[in-house]
Amino acid sequence: MRLNCITPPYILSRLLDSDNQAIREAALNTLLTTARLRGQRDVRGPMAAAVATPGDGRRTIFDCKHGTYLPRARIARSEGDEPVSDAPVNRAYDGFGATKDFYHDVLQRNSIDDRGMQLLGYVHRGTRYNNAFWDGQEMVFGDGDGQVFTDFTGSLDVIAHELAHGVTEHTAGLEYHNQSGALNESLSDVAGSMVKQWSLKQTADQADWLIGAEVFTPDIDADALRSMKAPGTAFDNKLFGKDPQPDHMDRYVDLPDTDEGDYGGVHINSGIPNKAFYLVASGIGGNSWEAPGHIWYESLKASTVDTQFQDFADTTFAKAGELYGVGGPEQEAVRAAWDGVGITLTPPKNPRGR
């Protein structure tokens, strides 16, 4: 089972050095819990599996009541129900709805798998759990420790980011390590930003391009988990250091393909294709979910499990030409964007070998 988590392991690891014992304990518990979940083949059990059937993206939100065994969670709100008194339940429900509507209205996709997959969410998982994750069938939210992290349902782009991992699973199935894994993470950030901008009706130049701006408490000096506009600038503080994301291939970070190495830096090197998408959206202008979003989505569908940065860049250029005309402003914006992050497009091969 592949667990896709929103909180980068390098942040949690740095928190282990905090002078605050409560912060250290919460970070350690989150790291250990996440590692343990990755070792399990199934975190859902029969209860969730019973409702994980096609249903036009019907939403069901469960309340874990701070437990960790998902089958014991109780349904808190189902599709069509009125809002409840629990704010995280409502935020998860609404975030699922915004993401589902985005895929339907903008990309003509029927839920995560394009076959009406139900959207299952679990809130209040564990105690002081500093993460949210997609496990292949549902999304699970922690409440945060209240000192560094807040409730993870508070950020729409985090919700859309995690659900987008499901879209990637059901399309290209990008392997979660090294460049294909960083591309996997980047595509989720792209989706998260587009859903947020679409919901707020923001153009590319009006958007903040931040991922998870709401996940930190007001006491933490940090803008967000990541910045797509300026990778490497989302945070810089004593508690967990400086944002390590590169914005150019010259600064690509080689890390071990291990859990401790973030599987080759998937949350770190995603800054490079993130910056490329921002440059395309700002270069074309207008709404990111229009030409830029369609180019990226069609390129995702044309990708394979081991697609690398260069492969994806070449595909986006080809798709821009197919969708909007060879040599048009959209295609030239794609070329300029990848050049801006240090990736030179591969010239197309002459079919006659000339």
What pLDDT score does 340 carry? 98
Count of domains in the chain?
2
Q: Write down the pTM of the prediction.
A: 0.94
Same domain, 159 and 190: no
Query: What's the average model confidence in pLDDT over 29-34?
Result: 91
Question: pLDDT exceeding 90 applies to what percent of the chain?
Answer: 89
Query: What's the average model confidence in pLDDT over 112-130?
Result: 96
Same domain, 272 and 196: yes
How many Å apart are CA 79 and CA 92, to the nearest integer? 12
pLDDT in tens, 153-206: 999 999 999 999 999 999 999 999 999 999 999 999 999 999 999 999 999 999
User: Of 188, 167, 160, 161, nearest to 98 (Cα)?
Assistant: 160
Asked if residue 79 is part of any domain, the answer here is: yes
Taking the chain, what is the end-to-end CA distance rounded to the nearest angstrom? 46
Calculate the alpha carbon distances from 189 to 267, 296, 344 in Å. 10, 12, 23
Secondary structure in 3-state letters for 76-129: EEECCCCCCCCHHHHHHHHHHHHHHHHHHHHHCCCCCCCCCECEEEEECCCCCC
The DSSP secondary-structure symbol of 348 reads: P
Residues, the chain, total?
354
Same domain, 184 and 320: yes
How many Å apart are CA 86 and CA 124, to the nearest integer? 10
**Mean pLDDT over all residues of the chain?**
93
CB within 8 A of 195, min separation 6: which ones? Answer: 98, 99, 102, 156, 157, 160
Region of residue 4 (left: phi > 0; alpha: psi -120 to 50; beta: else)? beta
Whether 87 has a pLDDT exceeding 50, the answer reads yes
Which tokens belong to 209? 């391009």
Looking up residue 287, the CATH number of its domain turns out to be: 1.10.390.10
**What is the domain extent for residue 231?**
178-340
Which tokens belong to 90? 């409502």
Phi first, then psi: give them for residue 26, nearest 5 degrees. -65, -40
- Report helix, strand or coil for 31: helix
Same domain, 334 and 203: yes
Asked if residue 353 is part of any domain, the answer here is: no
Same domain, 165 and 224: no
What pLDDT score does 352 carry? 47
How many Å apart are CA 14 and CA 262, to the nearest integer? 14
pLDDT band at 53 (very low <50, low <70, confident <90, very high): low
Q: Any bridge partners for residue 235, and if so which?
A: 222
pLDDT band at 51 (very low <50, low <70, confident <90, very high): very low
- Report helix, strand or coil for 258: coil
Q: Looking at the annotation, which residues are catalytic?
A: 162, 267
CA atoms within 13 A of residue 121's CA, in its CB half-sphere: 32
Same domain, 17 and 55: yes
What pLDDT score does 150 carry? 97
Domain stops at, among 169, 203, 224: 169
Same domain, 123 and 221: no
Asked if residue 351 is part of any domain, the answer here is: no
CB within 8 A of 309, min separation 6: which ones? Answer: 179, 182, 183, 249, 272, 273, 343
Asked if residue 118 is part of any domain, the answer here is: yes
Same domain, 202 and 322: yes
Asked if residue 345 is part of any domain, the answer here is: no
Same domain, 144 and 47: yes
